[in-house]
Structure 1
Amino acid sequence: MYEFTIIVPVYNEEDNLQRVEKELLAYTKISIKKTAILFVNDGSSDGSQALIEAICQRNEAFNYISFAENCGLSAAIKAGFDYVETPLLGYIDSDLQTAPEDFNLLLQHIGEYDLVTGVRADRKDTFVKNMSSKIANGIRRTFTHDGMDDTGCPLKVIKTDYAKRIPMFNGLHRFLPAMILLQNGKIIQIPIQHFPRMAGTAKYGLWNRLFGPLVDCFAYLWMKKKYINYQVKDKG
């Protein structure tokens, strides 16, 4: 029935969820692919789960899974990959600093490419956040050679069969383009809009935006060396 599923990781975002519902519902009416929404509640301790259940009850295209405890963004994205059944998937952060309508910009390229990621143009973040992200992206490019300027951008579209083959660990959500390249897939980045956070609080500080990802680069190098990649020529 659906062609495209948007994964929405949620961790203590009760102040944002009504706006998330409004904007994603509006997007489903203009999407160039028939779109479903999958909330992944990452063990929220506020009222997020009750709001998610109410949203899903009144909107047919919305569904959810909920963790027993907080596991982190990479785990939430991986769970979304595992549960999605449509041929295409994407994800967006529940802070809505990116615009759902920009998924249409990415979907226009997904036929030729296997991952299309946004690049946040004119970022509306603090100086420290912008600089730490710029440094972290430069370090990752040195390790991965993926050519991507903004791998942390929370707006991506991926072919589901590629996404399901990605071996995830904590922090690897920043290496999704590189992990598609390991599968001999094709990737591209497209400029998108960016907005300041309207409600709730950011979940990342200087450590997990800069120093943590540096350690993850070495994990990626180990993964690249050990990654199993094969193509089936025939079956019977």
Structure 2
Amino acid sequence: MYEFTIIVPVYNEEDNLERVEKELLAFTKIATKKTAILFVNDGSKDRSQELIAQICQRNEMFHFINFSENRGLSAAIKAGFDHTETELVGYIDSDLQTAPEDFNLLLQHIGAYDLVTGVRANRKDSFVKNMSSTIANGIRRAFTHDGMDDTGCPLKVIKTEYAKRIPMFKGLHRFLPAMILLQNGKIIQIPVQHFPRIAGTAKFGVWNRLIGPLMDCFAYLWMKKKYINYEIKDKG
């Protein structure tokens, strides 16, 4: 039935989930691809899972995966990739600082590209958050040479065959474009809307927005050196 799956990682977002349901349900009615929603509850300690279960019971296009314990954003995204059966997969954060309707902007380009990522125009975050993200993106770009200005943007569309081949490790969600390039895939970034967080609490601070990505860059370099990529010429 579906052509596109949106992964929604969730960790202690009970105050946002009703709005997530409303906005994603509205998007499914205007989406250019028939869309399913997959919540990945990353071991939330609040009422998130209870609300997710209610949302999925009300809406046939909503489904969920519930982790037994908190494993981090990269693990949640990987689980979403592993359980996606549609040709295309994307993800959006449950804080809804990006707009679901902007998926249609990304979907316009996915035919010619293997990953289309948003780049947050006119970001509505604090000065410290914006500056730390800018520095982190500069460091990552120097290591990966992927040409992307905002890999932390939580709005992406990927061809599922490429997403499933990404050897995820903790922190690798910041390197998705670079990992598509390792597969000789094509990537592009498209400006999308950005909004301030209106509920819940941010999960990333200065430490894991700066020091963490720097350490992950060295992990990426190791991965790039060891990455196995082959192309079958023919079979007999």
The alignment's TM-score, normalised by the length of structure 1, stands at 0.99
* Deviation digits for residues 80-127 of structure 1 (CA, Å, limit 9, x no counterpart): 000000000000000000000000000000000000000000000000
Instruction: Output the amino acid matched with 1:187.
Output: I
1:122 is paired with a residue whose SS is coil
Which residue of the partner structure matches residue 142 of structure 1?
A: 142
Instruction: Output the amino acid matched with 1:153.
Output: C
Is 2:171 the partner of 1:171?
yes
Which residue of the partner structure matches residue 104 of structure 1?
A: 104
1:231 deviates by 1.5
* TM alignment of 1:72-111, pairs within 5 A: 72-111=72-111
- For 1:187 and 1:75, the matched residues in 2 are separated by 22
Instruction: Output the amino acid matched with 1:36.
Output: A
How high is the sequence identity, in percent, across the aligned residues?
86
- For 1:5 and 1:233, the matched residues in 2 are separated by 31
Instruction: Output the amino acid matched with 2:71.
Output: C
1:29 is paired with a residue whose SS is helix
- For 2:46 and 2:25, the matched residues in 1 are separated by 23
* TM alignment of 1:149-160, pairs within 5 A: 149-160=149-160
Which residue of the partner structure matches residue 225 of structure 1?
A: 225
1:235 deviates by 3.4
Which residue of the partner structure matches residue 216 of structure 2?
A: 216
- For 1:17 and 1:233, the matched residues in 2 are separated by 47
- For 2:13 and 2:107, the matched residues in 1 are separated by 27
Instruction: Output the amino acid matched with 2:171.
Output: G
Which residue of the partner structure matches residue 200 of structure 1?
A: 200
- For 1:130 and 1:219, the matched residues in 2 are separated by 24
Instruction: Output the amino acid matched with 1:216.
Output: D
Which segments of 5 or more consecutive residues in structure 1 lack a partner in the other structure? Answer: none
| Runs of at least 4 residues off by over 6 Å | none
Instruction: Output the amino acid matched with 1:92.
Output: I
- For 1:118 and 1:232, the matched residues in 2 are separated by 32
- For 2:12 and 2:149, the matched residues in 1 are separated by 29
- For 1:168 and 1:142, the matched residues in 2 are separated by 21
Which residue of the partner structure matches residue 23 of structure 2?
A: 23
1:233 deviates by 2.4
- For 2:231 and 2:107, the matched residues in 1 are separated by 25
- For 2:68 and 2:2, the matched residues in 1 are separated by 28
1:188 is paired with a residue whose SS is strand
- For 2:235 and 2:71, the matched residues in 1 are separated by 38
Instruction: Output the amino acid matched with 1:107.
Output: L
1:221 deviates by 0.2
1:43 deviates by 0.2
The alignment's TM-score, normalised by the length of structure 2, stands at 0.99
2:30 is paired with a residue whose SS is coil
1:53 is paired with a residue whose SS is helix
Which residue of the partner structure matches residue 43 of structure 1?
A: 43
Instruction: Output the amino acid matched with 1:70.
Output: N
2:119 is paired with a residue whose SS is strand
Computed over aligned residues only, the root mean square deviation of the Cα atoms, in angstroms, reads 0.6
1:125 is paired with a residue whose SS is coil
